[in-house]
């Protein structure tokens, strides 16, 4: 009996001459449409950034060759130098005597869309088009023909498939590969004699350089049969093993290697235990430090009235609610909070969530789905990015705060059912503000929903702390998300919107429907914080005055410092240097975190100073002095 008809689906994405992403599947006809969609989403979500060209090819294929996957083993390397030395050894084991020269060829190669086809003895390159190289295509894992591909790149399985096909090609002696993905440091050497040998570190994290070489022998006179097999013969690879058989006892090996890579790249993070004290101070490690990293912008988290309101709510309504909002989790306090939020922000209705993160994820994924498009600022918060991904909608990223770019992209989105433009109000790592009036004009012009996350604007922007819209004196977005966890000093998230959209969210937002409702203590605290903010707007003025004072103190000492909010970034660049500066500041009694990848782009590490209205001018001046004293010393190292 012949096999059912199959289709090859290939995706290639590029930006100018740079390769961004590539993937392919061999699928049953019923899976082809969804596979095409999934591969396009993958191309648009690559860590290298958005491509400007995506090529898709869907073609029926004939007879399929089934081969066994290469056996797998792992070679552990702690540095790229160790990894390249291991690669040389493995190539020699595979019969490549000039192994060091082959490795050097790959290290010196520029960007190329395919692989080099190199004679093992002469090192002559045999591919007809040197700029294009040779591509191993038309292949997949056996058994995956009815399943969608993963949403992100599955490096291990895809590499095994490719390496197994290459090893089966006539004349191939070995393959050397280093991924060009900046977030993937593993490479491999593969051959029929050695199997697939994963090398745990072959480049630095963040390095986008990579490539592959197919080493051959005996085909220099006519490489056409080898190239034809690599590029045209459909292959399904069977019995792909787990790396080193790690399904059982060694299943944590991969986790350990990732941890080691994070540590060596200066991106390791650890929690720090703090006992908060008044006036923006805390006990940390047995000593008192000034905390210039908290989002408690108005000092309300320690306000005695807010703490009493939390205690009273817990005493009256219990420690928890015992259910989701639509079952048993709605208490009088939840209704009161939503009424107070709607009144304070001048909206028809408000819907509360357990956290601000869940508010963003819950609102975006409820309002947009397949057939819709979301246009998202490139520096939006991770919770917005996750909401976009979970929605299933197409996502178009526009340049940071660039309304001309947004306008151009909106103009090309007329065929979608819904258009949703999403932006932070205040961007949490730079402290700059979205151009809300122009954004609202564009949304009106192109019939798009407007969405603003005011997490870092509530209690900060506007004369009375009502956020970005008050700052500009313009209408609010269709949906304004906020958090109770920052300037309001409590915990939870919310969205202010129209009554119709609020009712829609109550019925469609999974983060609302399936989450236990916020605890009474947090809700009681938030209600009291809102009352204080409404009756004591001078706190907002104090925050603005102290932020301006701190920025001026930095500039007085020769450090560039500009902000439109309560967040003052101090640019450093190098990740390891930023961590070292933050550590030295901690030694001097100032908790100011180093912000680095993936929170910000690589090479854009910074100190993120968050000002509170309870900070004294003396503390702010001393912090500026400490930063200025440490930075010149770090520059000279």
Q: Are residues 176 and 247 in the same domain?
A: yes
When pLDDT is cut at 50, 70 and 90, the band that residue 280 belongs to is confident
Domain span at 572:
275-295+538-635
Residue 271 binned pLDDT confidence (cut-offs 50, 70, 90): confident
Q: What average pLDDT does the segment 538-547 reach?
A: 95
**Phi-psi group of 134: left, alpha or beta (phi > 0 → left; psi -120 to 50 → alpha; rest → beta):** beta
Identify whether residues 29 and 176 lie together within a single domain. Answer: no
What is the β-pairing status of strands 349-353 and 493-497? antiparallel
Contacts of 65 (CB under 8 A, 6+ apart): 168, 233, 234, 235, 236
270, part of any domain: no
Confidence at residue 634, expressed as pLDDT on a 0 to 100 scale: 46
Mean pLDDT value of segment 469-496: 96
Burial class of 41 by CB neighbour count within 10 A (0 to 12, 13 to 18, 19+): middle
Q: CA–CA separation, 481 vs 495, rounded Å? A: 4
Of the ranges 138-142, 495-499, 624-628, which one carries the lowest mean pLDDT score?
A: 138-142
**Residue given tokens 């209705």 in the structure block:** 349
Q: Let me know whether 256 and 289 are in one domain.
A: no
| Res. 207 pLDDT band, cuts 50 70 90 | confident
Q: Are 572 and 429 in contact (CB under 8 A)?
A: no
Same-domain status, 516 and 546: no
Q: Say if pTM beats, i.e. exceeds, 0.75.
A: no
Task: Examine the domain organization and report whether 249 and 286 are in the same domain.
Answer: no
Q: What are the CA-CA distances from residue 102 to residues 78, 85, 89, 164 (Å)?
A: 22, 12, 12, 20
Q: What is the pLDDT of residue 391?
A: 93
If asked whether residues 214 and 283 sit together in one domain, one would say: no
Of 242, 264, 286, the one marking the end of a domain is 264
Domain termination residue (choose one: 241, 264, 287): 264
Answer yes or no: is 28 within a domain: yes
Which has the higher per-residue pLDDT, 562 or 248? 562
Of the chain, the end-to-end C-alpha distance in Å amounts to: 71
Place of tokens 């050397």: 176
Looking at residue 154, its pLDDT comes to: 59
Q: What percent of the chain has pLDDT over 90?
A: 66
Helix axes 520-535, 304-317, angle to 10 degrees: 140
Q: What is the domain-level CATH number for residue 398?
A: 3.40.640.10
User: Does residue 319 sit in the same domain as residue 426?
Assistant: yes
Structural domains of the chain, count:
4
Residue 1 lies in a domain: no
Q: Is residue 420 domain-shared with residue 346, that is, in the same domain?
A: yes
CATH of the domain at 570: 3.90.1150.10
Same domain, 117 and 200: yes
- Identify whether 481 is part of a domain: yes
Q: Name the residues annotated as catalytic.
A: 428, 456, 486
Residues 307 and 289 in one domain: no
Distance CA 545, CA 615 (A): 11
Asked whether residue 546 is domain-assigned, the answer is yes
Q: Which of 519, 535, 551 is the last residue of a domain?
A: 535
On the question of pLDDT at 191 being above 60, the answer is yes
pLDDT range class, residue 210, cuts 50, 70, 90 = confident
pLDDT tens figures, 113-129: 689 999 999 999 999 99
Per-residue pLDDT at 177 exceeds 90: yes
Q: What percent of the chain has pLDDT over 70?
A: 93
Q: Are 282 and 591 in contact (CB under 8 A)?
A: yes
**Model confidence at 357: pLDDT above 70:** yes
Average pLDDT over the chain reads 89
Task: Please check whether residues 203 and 110 belong to one and the same domain.
Answer: yes
Residues 163 and 48 in one domain: no
DSSP assignment of 396-447: EEE-TT-HHHHHHHHTT-TTSS-EEEEEESB-TTT--B--HHHHHHHHHHTT
Q: Write down the pLDDT at residue 229.
A: 96
User: Could you tell me if residue 620 is inside a domain?
Assistant: yes
């Amino acid at each position: 009996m012949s096999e059912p008809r199959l289709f090859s689906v290939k995706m290639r994405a590029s930006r100018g001459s740079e390769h961004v992403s590539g993937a392919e599947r061999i699928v049953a006809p019923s899976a082809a449409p969804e596979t095409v969609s999934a591969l396009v989403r993958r191309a648009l979500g690559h860590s290298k950034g958005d491509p400007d060209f995506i090529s898709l090819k869907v073609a029926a294929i004939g007879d399929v060759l089934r081969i066994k996957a290469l056996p797998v083993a792992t070679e552990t390397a702690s540095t790229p130098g160790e990894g390249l030395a291991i690669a040389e050894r493995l190539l020699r084991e595979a019969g490549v005597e000039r192994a060091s020269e082959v490795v050097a060829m790959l290290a010196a190669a520029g960007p190329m869309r395919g692989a080099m086809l190199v004679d093992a003895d002469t090192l002559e390159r045999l591919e007809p088009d040197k700029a294009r190289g040779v591509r191993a295509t038309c292949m997949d894992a056996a058994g995956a023909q009815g399943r969608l591909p993963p949403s992100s790149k599955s490096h291990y399985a895809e590499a095994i498939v490719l390496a197994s096909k290459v090893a089966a090609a006539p004349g191939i002696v070995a393959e050397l590969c280093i991924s060009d993905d900046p977030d993937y440091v593993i490479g491999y050497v593969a051959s029929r004699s050695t199997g697939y040998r994963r090398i745990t570190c072959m480049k630095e994290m963040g390095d986008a350089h990579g490539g592959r070489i197919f080493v051959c022998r005996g085909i220099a006179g006519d490489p056409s049969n080898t190239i034809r097999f690599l590029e045209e013969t459909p292959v399904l690879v069977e019995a792909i093993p787990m790396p080193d058989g790690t399904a059982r006892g060694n299943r944590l090996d991969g986790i350990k290697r990732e941890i080691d890579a994070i540590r060596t790249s200066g991106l390791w993070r650890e929690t720090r235990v703090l006992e908060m004290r008044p006036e923006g101070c805390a006990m940390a490690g047995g000593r008192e430090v000034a905390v210039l990293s908290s989002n408690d912008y108005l000092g309300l988290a320690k306000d005695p009235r807010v703490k009493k309101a939390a205690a009273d709510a817990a005493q009256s309504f219990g420690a928890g609610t015992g259910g989701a909002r639509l079952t048993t989790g709605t208490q009088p306090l939840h209704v009161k909070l939503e009424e107070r939020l709607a009144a304070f922000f001048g909206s028809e209705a408000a819907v509360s969530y357990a956290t601000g993160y869940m508010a963003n994820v819950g609102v975006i994924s409820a309002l947009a789905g397949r057939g819709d498009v979301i246009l998202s600022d490139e520096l939006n918060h991770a919770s917005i990015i996750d909401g976009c991904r979970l929605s299933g909608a197409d996502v178009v990223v526009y340049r940071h705060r660039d309304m001309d770019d947004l306008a151009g992209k909106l103009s090309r989105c007329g065929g979608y059912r819904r258009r949703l433009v999403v932006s932070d109000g205040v961007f949490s790592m730079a402290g700059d503000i979205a151009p809300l009036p122009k954004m609202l004009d564009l949304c009106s012009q192109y019939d798009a929903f407007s969405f603003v996350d005011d997490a870092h604007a509530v209690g900060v922007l506007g004369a009375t702390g009502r956020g970005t819209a008050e700052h500009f004196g313009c209408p609010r977005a269709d949906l304004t998300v906020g958090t109770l966890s920052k300037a309001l000093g409590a915990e939870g998230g919310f969205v202010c919107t129209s009554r119709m959209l609020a009712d829609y969210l109550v019925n469609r937002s999974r983060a609302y429907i399936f989450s236990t409702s916020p605890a009474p203590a947090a809700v009681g605290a938030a209600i009291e914080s809102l009352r204080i903010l409404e009756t004591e707007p001078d706190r907002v003025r104090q925050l603005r005055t102290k932020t301006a004072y701190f920025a001026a103190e930095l500039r007085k000492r020769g450090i560039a410092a500009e902000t439109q909010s309560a967040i003052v970034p101090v640019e450093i660049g190098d990740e390891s240097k930023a961590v070292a500066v933050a550590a030295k500041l901690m030694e001097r009694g100032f908790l100011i975190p180093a912000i680095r990848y993936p929170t910000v782009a690589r090479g854009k590490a910074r100190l993120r100073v968050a000002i509170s209205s309870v900070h004294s001018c003396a503390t702010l001046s001393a912090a500026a002095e400490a930063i200025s004293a440490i930075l010149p010393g770090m520059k000279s190292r």
